[in-house]
Structure formats: C-alpha cells, structure tokens
Amino acid sequence: MSAPKDTAPPKARSANPSGDPGSNALGRALHGWRDRISPETVGLPAGGVRRATGLRREELAQLAALSVDYITRLEQGRATSPSPQVLASLSRALRLSETERTYLYLLAGQPEPGPGHISAHIPPGLRRLLDQMNRTPLSVHDAAWNLVEWNPPWAALLGDPSALRGRERNVVWRHFAGRPGRVRQTPEQRAAFEATMVADLRAATARYPADVGLRSLIKDLRETGTDFAALWDSGIVGIHRSGAKTITHPDIGTITLDCDVLVAAGSDLRVVAYTAPPGSDAAARLGLLDVIGTQAMA
C-alpha cells in the first residue's frame, strides 16, 4: 500500500489559511483527505453501500478516537479551534505526510509540536513497512507509550481498542491502574515489565522536557497508589529486551508468543510485534485467529 503523496489535496490547496471563518479551509482539507483513503487501507471493512470510496465520518472518528459529532462540526466549520492533541490524532488517522501535517496545524491556527514535544507522526517508510506486515499482530506507540496505531491481527489477539479514549490508550497507565487485559505475567515478568516501562518514561522526560501530556501522565501515575512512585524515585534504568508474552484469548485459549519491541530510528516510535516460530502450535493458532478476526469478540 502506498503512502499518501507529500502534497495537500486539491480542495485544500486553494483554501485561504488566513484564519477567515468564512473560508472553512480546515473543513475542506479534512474532507478532502478523508475522501482519498479507502477503508481497506486502514484495516476497516468496506461493506455496505458507499456513496464515495473514502472514509465515512464515523470511520474517521473511530480511527482518531473522536466523536462523529465533532468530526462533523470540524468539516462544517462549526468547530474551528481543535487542540494539538486532536490535530495529532487526525494527522495519524488520515495518514498525512509531514507537509500535510504542517498545513493542518497552520489551518487550525496551532503551532506544530517542537523538538521538546512527543510526536506520534508515522514516517512514510515505517508506514509502508507496517502495511506490508499486515498478517503479524503489530501496534505502534509513542515515546510515552500511548497507543498510536494497531492492525486488525493485533486487535483480534489483544482486543479492539477503538472505543478507548485518552489515558485509557496508554500502556503504562493501564498496567499500573489495574485495567483488565489479556496478557498474563509471572511475578518476575511483571517486575521486569514495570522496571522497563518506568525507565522508558524517565528517558522520555529527558528527551521531551516541554511535553505537558507526559508530565501529567507521570503525576497521575505517582498517585495510583501502586509501586510506580517507588520505582520512579529509585532512579531505575533499563532497556527493552525480546521476550515471551502469554495471552489468554476467549476463542483460541492461552497462547505464548515472542514479543519484540522495535524503536523506529528518527521517530522514537515503538513498534511491538507478536510472532511465533513457523510450524509451531502457537503459529497454527495465530493462523486460526486470522480467520476468526474480531467477529467472535463483538
């Protein structure tokens, strides 16, 4: 699947980014970007009668973790001041190039995140790699471990996160806040996971000192009443290593997979991949999961 071209759509190109409310340049740009993306490109079913080949508003809302009403108001010019967080979500969901993302922030009257802020932008090269690995359960996370993107096999394996909003999409928060999940850990695995996550966040605060969302996450994690505060104050450091993850799935049972965390060079994004040795029982059950998909988990 090809990455979006590094140009603004024709409708948006002629728009006036001067801030004139009557121009509704932001709404036209969003609509144009939405129209050019097919559901299959982003892993959504294309069923039903469609008036256009692009994404429906409700599909963009699902991908960006926003309400359909808000997407409608943005496109109709009734909402004109989206936050940087909303713009980042829209940029990811619409698969904007760097040039298009800059244009989006310009239209919304917001400065692009600087070097002191965490970015969730997926470079075109990484996007193509992810698209080509569409049979492997994959998820993408930013430097603060917010879930940025996932593919259908990942949703089938670990549960569809599309209904989650805000902090509920953060891996570290969900762990220390005791949110339910399908990964099962021994005490040793849990301790190693917590140490690595805390060390990762500590490193992120050094790289992104101006990121308000990251500082807020650390503050809230310290107040969860768990071991996070003690680990944070200990100054613990660590690195990611390949390991095994045991997952309890409602349809295929308990499965143990290799879990690798890859850091995309130049972007600070974490790509988490779940794989099994060829010919193994785990590989066979992953194949079965590929057939089942998320249908049985509705």
Which residues sit opposite 140 in a β-bridge?
149, 271
Taking the domain 124-297, which CATH number applies? 3.30.450.180
Domain ranges of the chain: 10-108, 124-297
CA angle 293, 295, 298 (to 5 degrees): 130
Other C-beta atoms within 10 Å of 80: how many? 15
Cα–Cα dist 109/130, whole Å = 31
Cα–Cα dist 75/34, whole Å = 10
What is each CA distance from 158 to 63, 114, 137, 151, 246, in whole angstroms?
17, 33, 9, 11, 11
**Per-position pLDDT tens, the chain of length 298:** 333 444 444 343 333 444 444 468 999 999 999 999 888 777 777 666 777 678 999 989 888 888 899 999 999 999 888 988 889 889 888 988 888 988 999 999 888 777 778 888 888 888 888 888 888 999 999 999 999 989 889 999 999 998 888 899 999 999 999 999 999 999 999 999 999 999 999 989 988 888 889 999 999 999 988 889 999 999 887 667 778 999 999 999 999 999 999 888 777 899 999 999 999 999 999 988 877 765 543 2
- What pLDDT, on a 0 to 100 scale, did the predictor assign at position 3? 38
- What pLDDT, on a 0 to 100 scale, did the predictor assign at position 185? 94
Nearest to 171 by CA among 199, 151, 142: 142
Cα–Cα dist 46/39, whole Å = 6
Hey, is 296 helix, strand or coil? helix
Fold classification of 10-108 is: 434 Repressor (Amino-terminal Domain) (1.10.260)
Instruction: DSSP for 198-253, please give it.
Output: HHHHHHHHHH-TT-HHHHHHHHHHHTSSSSHHHHHHTT-------EEEEEEETTTE
Alpha-carbon Rg for the chain in angstroms: 20
In sequence order, the 6+-apart residues with CB closer than 8 A to the CB of 125 are none
- What pLDDT, on a 0 to 100 scale, did the predictor assign at position 23? 65
Helix (H) or strand (E) holding 269: strand 269-275
Cα–Cα dist 200/95, whole Å = 26
- What pLDDT, on a 0 to 100 scale, did the predictor assign at position 15? 39
- What pLDDT, on a 0 to 100 scale, did the predictor assign at position 17? 43
pTM of the model: 0.74
Q: Are 250 and 296 in contact (CB under 8 A)?
A: yes
